[in-house]
């Protein structure tokens, strides 16, 4: 269970380190746009608003599709194919292997989901820089931050990736990670 606990902590650490990225973009944009040397390019920015908004709208469901691909069908295919359908209690010695495999897959899905969400905030930064103003960046940065918050790690999502019998054993034994 220590490896599962470490993977869970690592997942939260990476997620929380990626979360403030949109806020950092706003701060950098504020500094850049208040400089007199920054030269706005509103014509270029106006041409990019609709394409970037479309890309951002496409990325939101793509995050879910990529996470679904990375996490599989949200069911763990264990060491034997019978593990997915097994509803009876799983022996306690098998649980760490199941949890470690699920936690590692879940970790990748969380990091990729938050990274893609942060890319939406980068579009807002680009527009704000080109317009020379913070205002055009806020919708993109807000959506990027909101999408990142939605993809924070959750134990029920991780537990949904292992066989029901293992979840029942984890709850019955009050194993925590």
What pLDDT does residue 170 have? 75
What pLDDT does residue 165 have? 75
Tell me the domain boundaries of the chain. Answer: 2-173
What pLDDT does residue 93 have? 78
Please provide residue 76's backbone torsions phi and psi, each rounded to the nearest 5 degrees: -80, 125
Cα–Cα distance for residue pair 142/157, rounded to 1 Å: 24
Looking at per-residue pLDDT, the higher value among 80 and 147 belongs to: 147
Looking at per-residue pLDDT, the higher value among 159 and 18 belongs to: 18
- Banded pLDDT at 67 (limits 50, 70, 90): confident
Q: Kindly tell me if the per-residue pLDDT of 78 is higher than 70.
A: no
Q: Kindly tell me if the per-residue pLDDT of 103 is higher than 60.
A: yes
Per-residue pLDDT tens over the stretch 110-119: 999 999 999 9
Per-residue pLDDT tens over the stretch 132-166: 999 999 999 999 999 999 989 988 888 877 777 77
CB 175 within 8 A of CB 1: yes
> Which residues are within 8 A (CB) of 98 and not within 5 positions of it... i.e. 6 or more apart?
76, 78, 83, 90, 162, 163, 166
What pLDDT does residue 167 have? 78
Q: What is the sign, positive or negative, of the torsion defined by CA atoms of 45, 50, 51, 53?
A: positive
């Amino acid at each position: 269970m220590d490896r599962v606990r470490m993977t869970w902590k690592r997942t939260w650490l990476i997620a929380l380190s990626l979360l403030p990225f949109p806020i950092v973009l706003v701060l950098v944009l504020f500094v850049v746009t208040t400089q007199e040397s920054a030269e706005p390019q509103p014509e270029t920015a106006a041409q990019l608003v609709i394409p970037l908004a479309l890309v951002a709208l496409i990325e939101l469901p793509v995050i879910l599709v990529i996470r679904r691909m990375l996490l599989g069908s949200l069911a763990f295919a264990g060491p034997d194919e019978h593990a997915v359908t097994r509803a009876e209690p799983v022996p306690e010695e098998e649980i760490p292997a199941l949890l470690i495999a699920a936690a590692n897959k879940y970790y990748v899905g969380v990091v990729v989901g938050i990274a893609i969400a942060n890319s939406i905030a980068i579009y807002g930064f680009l527009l704000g820089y080109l317009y020379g103003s913070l205002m055009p960046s806020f919708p993109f940065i807000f959506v990027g931050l909101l999408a990142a918050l939605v993809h924070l790690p959750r134990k029920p999502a991780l537990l949904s990736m292992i066989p029901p019998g293992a979840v029942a054993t984890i709850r019955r034994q009050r194993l925590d990670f």
